[in-house]
Structure 1
Amino acid sequence: MAELMPDDARPDASPASGLAGVLHRVVTWWGLAGGMLFCAIVGMSIVSIVGRKLFATPIQGDMELLQMGAAVASATFLPLCEMDDHHIKVDALTTWMSARGRAALDTLAHALLLVVAVLLTWRTGLYTAEAKENMEVSTLLLVPLWWPVLLLVPSFVLLALAALHRCVVSLRVALGGAA
């Protein structure tokens, strides 16, 4: 329901300077890398499908690679969505509230996401170490599972940093300051 808020009433979600600017550039490039990974796995899938249908030779383990690549690529978009404050919101119930009241609710939401992102980072890091220690591998290609899981950790770290940034920005607005 983002259309309920005019563009001029929305705080600028992409900072240009300082640590917030650096973080925004990092999450943008991280998201672009995830997009390129999606393009690569789509290309691999097309080659595998064509190979299967025309030459009876698909790419061995294409579904494993697709699953791992999609998980890693999807995670790269989370920090960018949070940094630009583009996660789905149900604003229909809060349109009657003042901007400061909505900012207070946003502060709570961003703080909860920060907690979840920190927990995801911690638990994913632990699973990475456990998968490496136990030498877990994928079924067909025998790819060590800790490789793709390790690639999720930076996305969760960036998500936590972006949530912290949005929490500070929302708190500033809730307390009556400028975004």
Structure 2
Amino acid sequence: MIDVPGRADQPVGGMPLEGLRSPWQHAATGLRRAALIAAGAGGTALCGLAILLTISIVARKTMGWQVRGDVEIVQMGGAVASSLLFAWCQIRHGNVAVDFATKSLPRGVQQVLNRIGYFSLGCLGLLLAVRTAALGLGSLEIHAVSTLLAWGEGYWQLAMVPGLMLFGMIGLFQSFAPQQVVDDMAHIFSCKGN
């Protein structure tokens, strides 16, 4: 049987999230919604890029023409779209974790190690956001453009910053939030088979 929570403020376990962690839950809900919107935008962009590339390849093979700068568009657009998916991956615990080595450790030790991982990924996300912003601003300053289309590279680089910032903020939030809130963030949209 499939158990789908009826509301976003109810965890998979069925207990309401009111009370002890109301501020944590409000923050978790906002971050989860932002990550879901970012992931939807990133996924839609990737689908659009796949369609564009498919049209270009089919046209090249059948009609002898192609979308001008298709590779550049896919590279720049793919980088932005991918950066928007990182936050949802972080919320769903989709990042690579080497848990086989810690499986035999006590649950408390596992949670401490998970929090260290969340903190590390949060710091990495924020560091990437800052460095990418600096790169984008530098590219705008020197008027760097792509080879074929002559599009400003700085705009594409700066478009990656919001996704990376959200990824970093979620990682830091997970490293300090109560464990139940972190677990609820990951499972609120999942279906659980009994």
TM-score normalised over the length of structure 2? 0.78
- For residues 154 and 55 of structure 1, the distance between their equivalents in structure 2, rounded to whole angstroms, comes to 39
- For residues 52 and 86 of structure 1, the distance between their equivalents in structure 2, rounded to whole angstroms, comes to 37
Greater RCO structure (CA 8 Å; 6+ sep): 2
In the alignment, structure 1 residue 96 sits paired with structure 2 residue 124: no
- For residues 51 and 86 of structure 1, the distance between their equivalents in structure 2, rounded to whole angstroms, comes to 37
Bigger helix fraction: 1
Select the residue among 124, 132, 135 that pairs with 2:140.
132
Select the residue among 68, 72, 79 that pairs with 1:64.
72
Q: Superposition pairs for residues 2-13 of structure 1, below 5 Å?
A: none
Select the residue among 4, 22, 31 that pairs with 1:23.
31
SS in 1 for 2:160: helix
- For residues 182 and 158 of structure 2, the distance between their equivalents in structure 1, rounded to whole angstroms, comes to 38
Matched AA of 1:125: A
- For residues 56 and 117 of structure 1, the distance between their equivalents in structure 2, rounded to whole angstroms, comes to 43
Select the residue among 43, 57, 64 that pairs with 1:49.
57
Gaps of 5+ in 1: 1-6, 9-15
- For residues 49 and 72 of structure 1, the distance between their equivalents in structure 2, rounded to whole angstroms, comes to 22
- For residues 122 and 25 of structure 2, the distance between their equivalents in structure 1, rounded to whole angstroms, comes to 22
In the alignment, structure 1 residue 110 sits paired with structure 2 residue 125: no
Select the residue among 111, 115, 130 that pairs with 1:122.
130
The structural deviation recorded for 1:71 is 1.1
After TM superposition, where is structure 1 displaced by more than 6 Å over at least 4 residues in a row? none
User: Contact 1:129/1:146 (CA < 8 Å) preserved in 2?
Assistant: yes
| Cα displacement string for residues 42-74 of structure 1 (whole angstroms, at most 9, x for unaligned residues) | 100111011111111100100000111111111
| Cα displacement string for residues 27-49 of structure 1 (whole angstroms, at most 9, x for unaligned residues) | 11101100000000010011101
TM-score normalised over the length of structure 1? 0.84
User: Contact 1:82/1:166 (CA < 8 Å) preserved in 2?
Assistant: no
Percent sequence identity over aligned pairs = 27
In the alignment, structure 1 residue 146 sits paired with structure 2 residue 151: no
- For residues 138 and 86 of structure 1, the distance between their equivalents in structure 2, rounded to whole angstroms, comes to 33
Total equivalences in the alignment = 164
Matched AA of 2:84: T
- For residues 35 and 95 of structure 2, the distance between their equivalents in structure 1, rounded to whole angstroms, comes to 15
In the alignment, structure 1 residue 78 sits paired with structure 2 residue 86: yes
The structural deviation recorded for 1:22 is 1.0
Closer, same or farther in 2 for the Cα pair 1:104/1:151, shift >3 Å? same
- For residues 77 and 118 of structure 1, the distance between their equivalents in structure 2, rounded to whole angstroms, comes to 15
- Indicate the residue corresponding to 2:186 in structure 1: none
Supply the RMSD in Å over aligned alpha carbons.
Answer: 2.4
Matched AA of 1:163: G
